[in-house]
Amino acid sequence: MTNTVNRQIQLSARPANYPKESDFDLVESPVSEPREGEVLVKVIWLSLDPYQRGRMRASHPYATPMELGQVIVGGVVGKIVQSRTPAFTVGEVVEGPLGWQEFAVSDGNNLRRVDAGLGPLSTALGILGMPGMTAYFGFLEIGQPRPGDTVVVSAASGAVGQVVGQISKIMGCRTVGIAGTAEKVEYLKSGLGFDAGINYKTENVDAALTKVCPLGVDVYFDNVGGVITDAVFDHLNVGARISICGSISQYNQDEPEPGPRKMGLLVGKQARAQGFLVGQFRNQHEEGRQRIAGWIKEGRIKYREDVVEGLENAPGAFIGLMRGENFGKLLVKISEE
């Protein structure tokens, strides 16, 4: 291997409110040599995801926080360039949580072989990876949609939301997406087949829901929390299901907003709100991956990626993600395939 330098992005400070460039360090170090039973992976694609912001805090409710000086956590797709285990061979493409760096050593326990026949390698981090599985199981298992239901999806143009909305249409539901720009709302309707869209930055969400959901809301896929979720709660039907995926509106606040608010509405509506983690469906991921890949090949699901080039640009792209500037699944291209 000719390249002997590994570049990494490390956490240099815990962000206060929104992260900034000075919270990250670009560090160079020698490429580590794999020991017996290990492999060396050259990273091709890096995934940027909202959950990473939570792990930059000093404490985290369900995952280990990052330490200062640690490589930022994150999923990657890469190629094995050295192997000292019979479990993997040089040239195989794998996916795993190897972090924001150009090379990584792994014992293989956290790696999954990527089936290049299912789609471009980048999709292993997007629609056929964690975001796609989050959408598939969070919507179908937690939301339990029925034909004719009205479904509302927040952060609908993001990596998870765009998949939820399209599965909703496949399931025969009326589908409404909430997003933050006119361009995104138009894409939901004309590009992905949503029945209606709401721009939460320019519209009163409560009034807009009254207009586009005259029969109320049966399933709400919640990616944002906060005031948008408050507005949706006022439109829930009896027996509604709320799938709580995330609360990105709260991730960059040092002090959380008081709550939970409006939970009393669930009583009269006999509604159910349930959080979930994509990992709880780990043993079923291959089922979801194959089904989504089939829908893509049939032309029933589309996907959009937002690609940034170069590891050094990962912090700026991540900051933009926290501000809703991305359009689709946000990825960093680290090297050529």
For 8-35, what is each residue's pLDDT tens digit? 999 999 999 899 999 999 999 999 999 9
CA 9 → CA 21, 69, 251, 312, distances in Å?
A: 11, 9, 21, 8
Q: At what angle do helices 285-297 and 130-137 cross, to 10 degrees?
A: 100
> Rounded to an integer, what distance in angstroms lies between the CA atom of residue 324 and that of residue 158?
9
CATH 3.90.180.10 placement within the chain: 5-122+304-333
Is residue 52 a contact partner of residue 65, using CB atoms and an 8 Å limit? Answer: no
Please name the residues in contact with 141: beta carbons below 8 A apart, sequence gap of 6 or more. Answer: 276, 281
Q: Measured in Å, how far apart are the chain's first and last C-alpha atoms?
A: 16
- Overall CATH class of domain 5-122+304-333: alpha beta
- Kindly state the percentage of the chain with pLDDT values over 70: 95
pLDDT score of 332: 99
Question: Is a pLDDT exceeding 70 seen at residue 323?
Answer: yes
> Rounded to an integer, what distance in angstroms lies between the CA atom of residue 327 and that of residue 158?
6
> Rounded to an integer, what distance in angstroms lies between the CA atom of residue 178 and that of residue 153?
6
pLDDT score of 62: 75
> Rounded to an integer, what distance in angstroms lies between the CA atom of residue 88 and that of residue 99?
20
pTM here is 0.93
CATH 3.40.50.720 placement within the chain: 130-279
* pLDDT bucket at 261, cuts 50 / 70 / 90: confident
pLDDT score of 254: 62
Is residue 105 a contact partner of residue 34, using CB atoms and an 8 Å limit? Answer: yes
- For the domain spanning 130-279, the CATH number is 3.40.50.720
